[in-house]
Structure 1
Amino acid sequence: MKKFFKFFIEKEKNIVAIPYLQEDQKKYFRFVKEQYEKGSRQIIITSKIMLKVLEEYFLNKKFRIVEIKFAEEDLELNQEIEKYLEEVEKDRGCFFKLLNKLEVIANNSSIDIEKIELVSSKRINEAYTSFSLKVNGIVIIDGNTIENDINSIIKNIKENIYS
């Protein structure tokens, strides 16, 4: 069952994942305002953070990359990244070519990564785990390792949000 969360930073600089329930999804701005009134600020997931999460899950957790979506529609760029993803699917060693390309895009253009989606290549606790992470700080996780995944993403955010 898919679970939705939105990342916020509290006054004490703690990063938290607030459950983002179905009724909240219908009233996004109200949900964000309620958290703001509690003293929390929403986190924007930069391309740098997206790349760190991508790297962590691909290399250390052996996840597969399902999708990388950019904030701006660029047909040529999308086709190029799709070719990289096909190469990586056939040969995981090609990941560094993809990562290098994404870093160049992130550092040298105004095109931001809007969303990444990954899925475990093996069953974890008898089920596959998948998740997508969006630039607006929303993460959607489907699987049995939700707490571990949330903590891993929070760790990556903490390590990269102020650098």
Structure 2
Amino acid sequence: MEAVNDAPLPEKTEIQTDGTGHASFIMDYGTPGAYCYRIWQQPGSNSRGHYDRTVYYIKITVTNGENNKLESAASLYRDSEMKGKKSEIIFTNTYEKKKSPAIKQQADSVGSQTVQKHTSVQAIQKTVTGQSVKTSTKPETGDNTPVLFWTVLLGATGIILVVLYIKLIRRKNR
């Protein structure tokens, strides 16, 4: 990570992903302004690895909010002109499987494994003059199905079927 303009840098400019593939950094901003950063992935040392060389740009806009408190908003881009917003940073790395000496004739058909590291803009934690502003780190799945509604409907249907079955048996026994 490096500053594009005169933006302050965090103590650690190398950001490590956690076990879930997410990462964050903490910044202190004392004055309003637009602070831009360039983020890229350091290539690994695996000789069979092909590492994503995509460069992302983050623009953090700090403004005066209510009661003279600073507020910040982050935007993510894939180009240095900072047009065409993105929602997350994704580095896609591929690794060639180790070729087995016993299967030399099938060496051309050996597949590859893809590993992705995600860093969501929403997962970035920003600290503005001592006040910490955290945004949600829950992934958006796009699934907003009302599970409770369908569960209640299924239960009600089951009860109706049982009642109808009991009535049917009583009619037959008369």
Greater RCO structure (CA 8 Å; 6+ sep): 1
Q: Which has the larger radius of gyration?
A: 2
Structure having the larger proportion of residues in strand: 2
Structure having the larger proportion of residues in helix: 1
- TM-score with structure 2 length normalisation? 0.26
- TM-score with structure 1 length normalisation? 0.27
